[in-house]
Structure 1
Amino acid sequence: MRQKIATNIVKNATLSIFIIINLIFPLANSIELTPLNAFSVPYETVIYKEKPGIIFSESIPHDTQYLKIRDNEVMFIKSELSDYEIGSMHNKLQLSPIQFLKSEPDDKLFMTISRIDEILMKNFKITIFMYHRFVDIPRNPYEISVHQFEEEMRYLYENGYKTITLGEYIDAVYNKNLTVLPAKPVIITVDDGYRSFLTRAYPILKKYGFTATLFIYTNFISNGSGALTWEELRELHREGIEIGSHSLSHPNMANPKHRGYMNYDRFLEDELGRSREIIEREIGVRVRTFAWPYGSYNQTAIKKAIELGYEGLVTVKPGSMTINSDPLHIRR
């Protein structure tokens, strides 16, 4: 049952004096989930304990005077109604007591909520990991020991990170919608198509409930004991692994020596277009992303990739991504 609502005047050293409607829930696990990014409500919800709090919004009826919220992993942001700093992202907080501030006029509040959304999108960062081959003893920078990979995945799992595919990230970027992503997302990418992904890495990913995006160059597939087969790739896809293109033959796509007798446009058509067609035919899935072999590309190659319909182009440049990052220059 909803407890009695009383109006209080609350004074805080870091806050202005607000008129607050008190609402306290006895059990956090009985409170419904409140979505973000729905901004048709003429209310601002201020949630805090003894320390500065956070601001949420939800699309609710005009006459609603309370809001139910449950989420242990919330985003702390800076209030646009006052000049105090609220904190860093993804901190934990207890959800009781919860207090609500009714704000007016409606048009002013709507602009405030829109600015809050921009702050959330600006500060939301995603790390993309890159791997190639999984072995017992690494002998070059493209190999990682199975033990080290397990340690890295365990760390992510124990610290509350959840994996998404590159396609899920791209959808969020194009739609400017954070609500489709977990609170602490990471992306696991694996290049080339070595069979060690299936035999060594995938069991570890499955153990922690993780997924990955696998970039393959098609001339390598089903070509020797070290490579994945098309049937194995089909099974991985059925298990939730995303498949992207890593070219036809893994060339340096910005280097003229790989063009041979063909003109450059034909070369790009083959490496970008034919590889995509082969994957789509063999696996029966739309290929949306391309990872540049050796991280090498130029503006002509980017233009051709866009022309062929790729939505995400992946580099080897270090750095994290945000909701406002360019999906045609993905860092990892």
Structure 2
Amino acid sequence: MRAVLLDGYGGAERLRVAQVADAAAPRRGQVRVRVHAASLNPIDWKVCAGYFPLIPGQRMPMIPGSDCSGVVDAVGDGVTDLKSGDAVFGLISGGCGHTFAEFVTASAKRFVRKPDNVSHAEAASVVLVGVTVLEALARIITLRAGQRLFISGGAGGVGSFAVQYARSVGARVLASAGAANLEFVHALGAQEVYDYAGGDLAAQLNGLDVIFDAFGELDARRYLACLKPGGAFISTGSGGRTMHALAQRYGKHLWLFGALVDVLRLSWQARRQERRRVAMVFGQPRPEHLAHIAQLLASGAVKAQIAQVYPLDDIARALGDAQTGHARGKRVIELANG
């Protein structure tokens, strides 16, 4: 099969497309999926650059990738929910799921049936971002109708899903975006949209129930005062500038440890300040999240926002583009039509 190979940590220049051994036949509880589309997530280029060395599955050369959509090709013993020929989407592992390949073998619990009303590219584009949003707004907290939520980076992959999800539960959505994306984010469902370059946002916001830092660049210390007593600040915690600053402070391989230490310290301080909460969110491939995403797509409550679709051979350009962090929605690699 054809696959993307990462020969060693670095930038897009360390990637190549090659013919490799076929994905393994599924063992008990596993399925093999013919990948039609896989999305590009920030964690993909960060894993390639060596920022997440402790995630399992990084023996070089490595097939990167996190999530995908495709068709079940083979089913292992004990799998009853899926069968060969089913169109599915799923999340294998952040950055190390080996989805940048024509086939991938993984636990059947990592996949759910794809709704008929979305393409494989659309389904692939929302998986990791969707589970990140649901982990933040449906598990760490339970966002409710009428609550005031501010989302930083409302035009990106995580942000665009979060805006739509929050509107679907009846929350009042405020969001930030670049000047060119203000109307786009408003059309997604945000009632108030702020230009993040238009001044001190922390001074303009108040009375919020939840702040969701989808971009991972907000200074929680400054934004806690924007929350009501009992409010929550939840961050993806891994925006490019934040990550590089932490890497300089703690070392490239320990930046995430440093981020967690900072979050714990801030969380303790915030609890003393009118019971406010600070948390960092990581996308978890929980079956209930995948099923929830399928329901949101099927109902039209959330629509995939695709910035660009690339052929597999353009993976180096696609990864380079992904590192800029500026896109309306998600970038997707297409491996088969559909």
Per the normalisation by structure 1, the TM-score is 0.25
Does 1 or 2 have the higher relative contact order (CA < 8 Å, sep 6+)?
2
Structure having the higher strand fraction is 2
Per the normalisation by structure 2, the TM-score is 0.25
